[in-house]
Amino acid sequence: MKIDFDGIQAFVVIAELGGFSKAAEHLHVTQTALTRRLQKLEAYLGLRLLDRTTRYVELTVVGREFLPQAQTIVGDVTRAVSRLKDVSSRSRGNFTLACIPTMASQMLPKAMRRYAETHPGNRIRIIDASGFEVRDAVLHGQAELGIGLPTESHVELEEALLLEEPYMFFCREEHPLSRKKQIVWSDLHEAELIGISTMSANRIFLDYQLAKRGIKLSGTYEVRHLSTAIGLVAAGVGVAILPNSTLEEGARPGLCRIPLTSPTIKRKIVILRKRNSTLSPAASAFFDLVLDQAGSS
């Protein structure tokens, strides 16, 4: 069944304003066009809704019964369209963002504060997850956007670079290497390394970069989360090679973060979205804001 909204709207306005002339002016159409709209609706229904002569317009019995329902239809559609226009013009709404934990506690808060200033009332649901989980959340529609690591390319995903950050050496202040201004990879052969799980995107990337340069390291311990590694370093269990954003300067008194050189290895942080998929206005505004923030940093 095809709903003739123009015809229903014409009927409602004619009934409410009491004539074709005022109704045509209100709808910004000619009286001829307005008459055609009403005639088309009546022909589709097989019923006359209005009796009209050169002197007056009067609702038929069926027209009087239909008018309240028609007014509800026109009102509901008008309000719904108005809300959508407001969403579009002001980028209003809510969206879901998947994000790796290091960015959720480092880069993301600044972006969220800026977003809240320009789009008050919008809500962001955050899924904090591993790099692979971020990718899958965007791919399967659980999140409109994702902030994470570049992983295996996928035809349905596109990514944009946000930043690059180096891997650093983390140890306690009393560790023998803590006095160095920078660490070279050969310094770590005797270190009790706390490694990240081989299932982690961070570990896969780091292993690949080291293998390309002929560098081999073996860990004494293995954990899944970067936060666990930091906790073990703080407890004096060992040392760790982690992204710079794992720990803010001064966040853990007694811990040192030292640059790793020869070579310096950096990981990329990207923002992910579905290819050929239209973002909601709210997510689109956040996407643009994050890219702008990345470009100005």
Under the banding of pLDDT at 50, 70 and 90, the label for residue 54 is low
* Segment 135-172, tens digit of pLDDT: 999 999 999 999 999 888 889 999 999 999 999 999 99
**Predicted local confidence at residue 239, as pLDDT:** 94
- Per-residue pLDDT at 274 exceeds 70: yes
Domains and CATH numbers, the chain: 5-89 (1.10.10.10), 95-162+269-295 (3.40.190.10), 165-266 (3.40.190.290)
Mean pLDDT value across residues 164-189: 92
Cα radius of gyration (the chain): 31
CB crowding 175-213: b at 16 or more within 10 Å, else e: beebeeeebebebbeebbbbbbeeebbbbbbbbeebeee
Residue-wise DSSP of 174-195: TSGGGG-SSEEGGGGTTS-BEE
**Predicted local confidence at residue 92, as pLDDT:** 73
Place of tokens 């019964």: 65
Under the banding of pLDDT at 50, 70 and 90, the label for residue 294 is confident
**Predicted local confidence at residue 93, as pLDDT:** 80
Per the CB < 8 A criterion, the answer to whether 151 and 268 are in contact is no
Report yes or no on whether pTM surpasses 0.95. Answer: no
3-state secondary structure of 223: strand
